[in-house]
Chain A
Amino acid sequence: MLELKPMPEATVSPGVPKLLQEGFYVRFTDQWPLTLPHVKGKFFQVEKTNQVPYDITRIIPGGNYCDVDLSNATGGENIYPENTKTLYETILGFKPGNYLVHFYIPAGEYVHRLEQAGMVPNVASATLRYLGARKPEDSPYDDKRIYSYSVKDLEPLILRLLVDTGVDFEKMVLGLVVNKCYLKEITPTSEKEARAKVIRYYPELRW
């Protein structure tokens, strides 16, 4: 699951925790595939957490792009769990620069697209490169707003980093905080169900 949390319209006091905390509930929808039986349709309580910061950097010329694979596949950044009882809640922010970020999961399948045929992100197009693209100001490094959730063996989430034309080179710094959550499966009650964070399988984001 991937989501951008928008700027709040109002603040509440006391504040709401930004990350999943010990004791919080999470529910995986029934849309998760049979190949991920450790989470499909299950309900968990977060037993313990640990926050791990990490930065990823790329420097490329203007008009070029490169892909960053967050999964544990060969050549990936290894930001996915290896334990079936672990959920990674990863928040992502960007240092300032002249670049755009497209999201794919798995490789080649756009997360953000519109319904009209052809309205899909395309870094080779002068106009469609801006469709579905996130800019550094959408999720600043010091106020990260992009959330992704990964479990063991989930398909790879790919970030396509595009340096727009008009600059010679750009250094792109992606700041991550991986909130490691150790899960304990429990039997839900209606009250717990209502309070649970619902974690959807990525095809649910595309309709």
Chain B
Amino acid sequence: MASIVQNMAIAVEPLVAEKRNAKIKPSLIMVDNVLAGEDSELTFQDIFTTNPSIVAATGAAVVAATPTVSRLRVNVSDMACVSMRDELKDLKFLGRAQVTRTVAGAPDANINCHVTLGYDLE
């Protein structure tokens, strides 16, 4: 298992680069918001590029695209530290993983909010 710690020094922080022949399977997410001074809303996002494909039902062609898919969202109160393991068993990232921090819905950086991600490549 590999792991990474990111301080939310900017509102969107990269976590893991895409591995072309594997999915990223998180095994641990820990958010340390003890010294942040405010609640944190964290969204874990999956960014990947699709291949051209065809809609099976209609035969219509679909061109390549690069969607951003939110895979997990968690609110962490000020002065709190939370960790998740079992809740992650069905969570997978197809491409690269990043985390976005917001406060009241607006992007917000906070260097005292720390995110730890443990993961395997599957």
Determine if A59 and B59 form an interchain contact, defined as CB atoms under 8 angstroms apart: no
Decide: A59 near B21, CB < 8 A? Known: A124-B57, A168-B69, A169-B69.
Answer: no
What residues of B have a CB within 8 angstroms of the CB of A66 in the complex? 51-54
Chain B, interface residues (CB within 8 Å), range: 20 to 34
Determine if B54 and A59 form an interchain contact, defined as CB atoms under 8 angstroms apart: no
Cα-based distance from A73 to B52 in the complex (angstroms): 18
Determine if B122 and A95 form an interchain contact, defined as CB atoms under 8 angstroms apart: yes
Closest to A123 in B: B56
Decide: A124 near B59, CB < 8 A? Known: A59-B48, A65-B54.
Answer: yes
Q: Is A116 an interface residue (CB 8 A)?
A: no
Interface residues of B: mostly helix, strand, loop or mixed? loop
Task: Enumerate B52-102 residues with CB–CB distance to A below 8 Å.
Answer: 52-59, 62, 67, 69, 94-95
Q: Is A70 an interface residue (CB 8 A)?
A: no
A-B contact pairs, 22 of them (CB 8 A): A59-B48, A59-B50, A59-B51, A59-B94, A59-B95, A61-B53, A61-B62, A63-B55, A64-B53, A64-B54, A64-B62, A66-B51, A66-B53, A66-B54, A95-B122, A96-B122, A124-B59, A169-B48, A169-B50, A169-B67, A170-B94, A171-B23
Q: A63-B57, A65-B56, A169-B48 are in contact. List 8 more A-B contacts (CB 8 A).
A: A58-B51, A60-B51, A124-B57, A124-B58, A124-B59, A129-B56, A171-B23, A173-B22
Residues of B within 8 A of A (CB): 20-23, 48-59, 62, 67, 69, 94-95, 122
